[in-house]
Structure 1
């Protein structure tokens, strides 16, 4: 018991303490993990929005570079017609751009070159370019140009009357030893969204995110990768190319807090499963260790009990043989009695040794049976004849009630005799007061049967399924006082099972037990 207590404490330390520590650590570090995940998630969203803006910017810068390279390389903007022809050719190549305008540094000279003449109102465009906030942008472009940093500015021109909503992209045009003039592209806002922004939004959104482009003031989406766009986003950023518009992004499947909560719940369930598994594993280990310790104790008791059981018949054999050898018995009848005792004790000793040897063979799977047609009544006759002295010597009343006709079955006579002797031996050991034995054979509908009845101490219901386990002994004062190997009924079960038989036990504590054995009919059975 002390060893089991130590093992129990050790398993608790190995299994439960680490499990509790891990679960506690997960709960305590949840907030830290959540902040880390949110920060990582926010950086990812920023990267996605930056990708959309940067892709749009790259497209516009490629247009500007192509325009400077193919149109402005050797042409003075305000002189000659060749520049206009080159611009028309440029507009044919870049189909998204509907018009190009040229503007001097003083904002006085303005020229509008259209792909389709008459579509745009040049006066409205010039008026927009002369607004104070636009002039600020132009001055900024000049300052950056002087620092050799070439970039562009966007101006959003809302729809007026029949004029569509336009996007003006303004950039500087270099002139030798003078301040730069300006040039610009004019694009319909819808075209910018559909052909430049939307494809990149769909690409980066994939199936995981929803990207929307919306009016910053009215909070109204003008394009979204979702069929039903929302106005609540996980992160927003300005749309660089279109002033007054924002890019918004959110997860397609759920919001981040919901995902974190779901992840946390999955982690908790996993930890619960892991801890349960560890507890069950610990319990199974503990149960196996307890069983091994119990078997070790039983084996130790077995050695002690077997030694005692072997000593008793050996002592009797030695005592009576020495008495006969020394010639101390003159009466011939007394001699025959002593010879009989020696023979019976020898048979009892042989039976106990056979039990141990047979158990060893059964454990190794080497036990062999010699099956043949035998009569159950004949087995009982031989058993009673050989064992009668021992039964009577112990003061038992023996009643034998045999079926009148032969009871044939296919079996091993010696093995069955050994099984029945084990049951009788147990009945005698555990019948301290009412010493009664009854052996009955009978013919059943589909086989033959034998029952062995005693008026002993009986067996409790909870022990009935365990008494056939090796080394198992029912607890109780009388049981502990009575020596036994704990192998007898285990051998009985093995033998009966080998004969395709069935064992039924009827027992009541304090009133005795009845062991019934049923065997299938032999083809030669006449009954």
Structure 2
């Protein structure tokens, strides 16, 4: 009997030892794999954040180039007026130190702030010659109708980054940008919003290693990924995880899994057969979970950076409080709803473009329709801190309209009013009658639309170049969809907007559509 007991004991020891050894080796082996997966995830996050910051910085530089182009076109051959216009541009932008224009026929123009490099003024031609390949590349871009802004090297201007672009085929413009001022004053808000209280970000000088700008970064943190900024190649943007490091999370996961195996092995000593079955089941479940996590980690690396970031944070168990979990779930739900709205908007626009949307006209009271929309969205809009007012027409307001299509147009305009109102949160919904027709009007006190863009905003995919508007999420299809619907009703859209004061959209419909 001793031999069978020994055999059983040896058998049980082998059965217990094998899972322990298997999981031990597996965890050691997969530790590096886990780190690689997590590192890849944060690499994707950095690339998403960096693209956003770089795109924003390029938009700023492009707005400067546009102002310079306007100044050059508006002053003609009057160099005194041109220098005055360039000085106004310099005075209005702290990061700009100087502007030069090199014309192959007329020579060179230099305008700089007090203390800016005068040696550069004497050697603009030499500077462009040493960066001739960049100039050639810019001309190639311009021949394809694409205006590109490129950084160039200049050893004498350590604190200033020179950016060049083409005003015409024979005119090159350069602007000197104070690197640190540009980061701290122009890009700081974008970098802070990109961090979203989940990451620590640091902008550093790659040549010296000196920190230039930080968001919640401490010297104890380890930078996981770094990338160079487009317009300032000497500066890098680095990302670090708040709280525990990636290595801590991987080691904690390994330790927890090993403790689970030890616990299951202890139970196997008490009840051999049932213990063995439990271990086998747990091993199978653990393998399934591991395969699932591995597959999801590799397959679901999409451009949906926000959803990916918060979902990964929850899946990795870094959030302990239920309140924080609910907050993250809310963010994911909100982003999912936003993507759903975008898809629905694109599908609706696609139907209109393909003329597959058939309008179903019916006699409808515009007051009742507007009141229904108001009641449906009132609580949601007021919860976002907005004053939402409804001013119905005093009397019947019937017209032949497609209720669903008109509702979608009004909801689109209300959604825009909410998105583009930051400081003055007030939206007014009005119905009325004018010149034998009926109208529904949405008024806000938001960013407003520049006069020169008010006709363009109804074009599909067009987005305003106004900074606050351009940086707000959107597809560029909403107003085009509204115009299609109004045109389908043989109506018209009146827009009254002043920059910084808000906008009023009035949708006017004829009373009779049914013949």
Q: TM-score, structure 1 length as denominator?
A: 0.41
